[in-house]
Amino acid sequence: MVNMEKLYLEVSMLSVFRSVLDKPLFTCFSAYSTADGVSQRINHYAAMVAEIYRDGGSLTELVRRIVFEDENVYIKMRAVGRTVPAAIAEAADRELTVLSRFASLKPEDFGKDIRELLGLEYLSPFSSESCDLRNEYEVRIKDISKHGYGIFSSYPMFRLNDCGEISPVLSSDAVTLDSFIGYESERRAVVENTHAFLAGKPAANVLLYGDAGTGKSSTVKAVVNHFYDSGLRLIELRKDQLSFLPYVMGRILENPLKFIIFIDDLSFNKNDDNFSMLKAALEGSASARADNALIYATSNRRHIVKETFDDREGGDVHRNDTMQEKLSLSERFGLSVWFGKPSKQHYLDIVHGLAARYDLQLDPVTLDIKAEEFALRRGNRSPRCAEQFIKSLL
């Protein structure tokens, strides 16, 4: 039987992994261990098990994720190749051993305090297994350019929340490259650029522009999913969040992973303050650029700064210079990929490809007629329209 009092004291002494003690799992364990009465211990035990259930039901997996997501001084030094002081290395090694014991706990380890004293027949169960987090941690460090650390170790896609903090997208789009039909050459250009980026070769910021519903945003997300195991992550910023670019770049600067900063549906008005921030990032300004990040943006416009005829006839003495600055923003993306509206035949090819994928049994001629009628009612042909048509039949 595990000596729970001793384990609690050892967990309380964590220093390198100190921040894990703020996680609900460990606060519940601390409350359980320091509770005065058995009834209080039952409540705190139930709260701890509830946290395990929220993560899937395995204590071992929950502790593993918490440990791997922790951004501590030890992992940061190892990630950039710095020599770790012996005291810190020794502490990390011992603490991982303690956390391994904690992650291996079983419901019956709590039985002495609860089941035996109160005679309860039932104790909320959870699963666990023996583990060696010390060895697992070392294995991940040796391949840290693919695993990373902190919150970036567990999720592929992130966004800025309303407080300006980077947070994971818990239900991110699971789209894959092989789920698309058509636009192969366009996607190939984005895939090859991303592959070069991950390989440490010259790569460009990318602008995917063109008609709505052609798969521009889905292409970016599919590329990130495809290269997730190679160490690629996505951080999405809204246009009004571009002022946070220096913060984001600073946040990821020393992380061994590679990042796509994704800006969807990008366009600017002529007096938009965010224009200069994006321009600085694309031009490589030190305050808005990280070597391990590229900017991928989508837009329905080739020239992403909106311009009116009044702008061309305005009173600016150097009007041509001003116009060129606005129109050249898209040129600062090293790679621009056009996703145009499909022709009638291309649209029908996508429809037939989707029909085959969903095993939809329908006469080809009838399918063509119905697909065209659907597109006419929607006012356009696009891959999105084709998918909506097939799903309407299903």
Distance CA 339, CA 333 (A): 16
| pLDDT beyond 50 at 303 | yes
Q: Which of 149, 182, 213 is the last residue of a domain?
A: 149
Q: How much is the average pLDDT of 132-159?
A: 93
Supply the pLDDT for residue 114.
65
pTM: predicted TM-score of the whole model, two decimal places: 0.82
Query: Closest Cα to residue 384, out of 208, 211, 244, 237?
Result: 211
Supply the pLDDT for residue 116.
59
- Tell me the pLDDT band of 361, cut-offs 50, 70 and 90: confident
Domain membership flag for residue 247? yes
Q: How much is the average pLDDT of 358-367?
A: 87
Let me know whether 241 and 371 are in one domain.
no
Let me know whether 116 and 139 are in one domain.
yes
| pLDDT beyond 90 at 171 | no
Let me know whether 288 and 179 are in one domain.
yes
Which of 23-32, 285-294, 338-347 is predicted most confidently? 23-32
Supply the pLDDT for residue 122.
73
Q: How much is the average pLDDT of 242-246?
A: 87
Domain membership flag for residue 203? yes
Supply the pLDDT for residue 285.
59
Backbone angles phi, psi at 233, to 5 degrees: -130, 160
- Tell me the pLDDT band of 323, cut-offs 50, 70 and 90: very low
Domain membership flag for residue 282? yes
Mean pLDDT, all residues of the chain:
86
Domain membership flag for residue 69? yes
Let me know whether 271 and 219 are in one domain.
yes
Backbone angles phi, psi at 289, to 5 degrees: -145, 140
- Tell me the pLDDT band of 207, cut-offs 50, 70 and 90: very high
Q: Which of 149, 183, 217 is the last residue of a domain?
A: 149
Domain membership flag for residue 263? yes
Let me know whether 179 and 67 are in one domain.
no
Domain membership flag for residue 154? no
Can you give 168-202 as a three-state secondary structure string?
ECCCCCCCCHHHCCCCHHHHHHHHHHHHHHHCCCC
Let me know whether 210 and 309 are in one domain.
yes
Which of 23-27, 40-44, 246-250, 271-275 is predicted most confidently? 23-27
Domain count of the fold of the chain: 3
Let me know whether 369 and 268 are in one domain.
no
* Domain range for 103: 4-149
Domain membership flag for residue 28? yes
Q: How much is the average pLDDT of 338-348?
A: 89
Let me know whether 374 and 289 are in one domain.
no
Q: Which residues, at least 6 apart from 329, have a Cβ–Cβ distance to it below 8 Å?
A: 268, 275, 278, 279, 282, 303, 304, 305
Domain membership flag for residue 160? no
Let me know whether 311 and 355 are in one domain.
no
Supply the pLDDT for residue 313.
52
Let me know whether 335 and 377 are in one domain.
no
Please state whether 200 falls in left (phi above 0), alpha (psi between -120 and 50) or beta: left
| pLDDT beyond 50 at 317 | no
- What is the CB neighbour count within 10 angstroms for residue 244? 18
Asked which of 40-54, 77-91, 281-295 is least confident by mean pLDDT, the reply is: 281-295
| pLDDT beyond 80 at 73 | yes
- Tell me the pLDDT band of 327, cut-offs 50, 70 and 90: low
Supply the pLDDT for residue 322.
47
Query: Closest Cα to residue 38, out of 127, 123, 126, 128?
Result: 123
Q: How much is the average pLDDT of 334-363?
A: 89
Let me know whether 235 and 327 are in one domain.
yes
Q: Which of 313, 339, 365 is the last residue of a domain?
A: 339
Between 60 and 279, the higher pLDDT residue:
60
| pLDDT beyond 60 at 107 | yes
Q: How much is the average pLDDT of 341-353?
A: 89
Let me know whether 229 and 129 are in one domain.
no
| Residue pLDDT, tens place only, 3-20 | 889 999 999 999 999 999
The CATH number assigned to the domain holding 173 equals: 3.40.50.300
Q: CA angle, corner 334, sides to 278 and 252, nearest 5?
A: 50
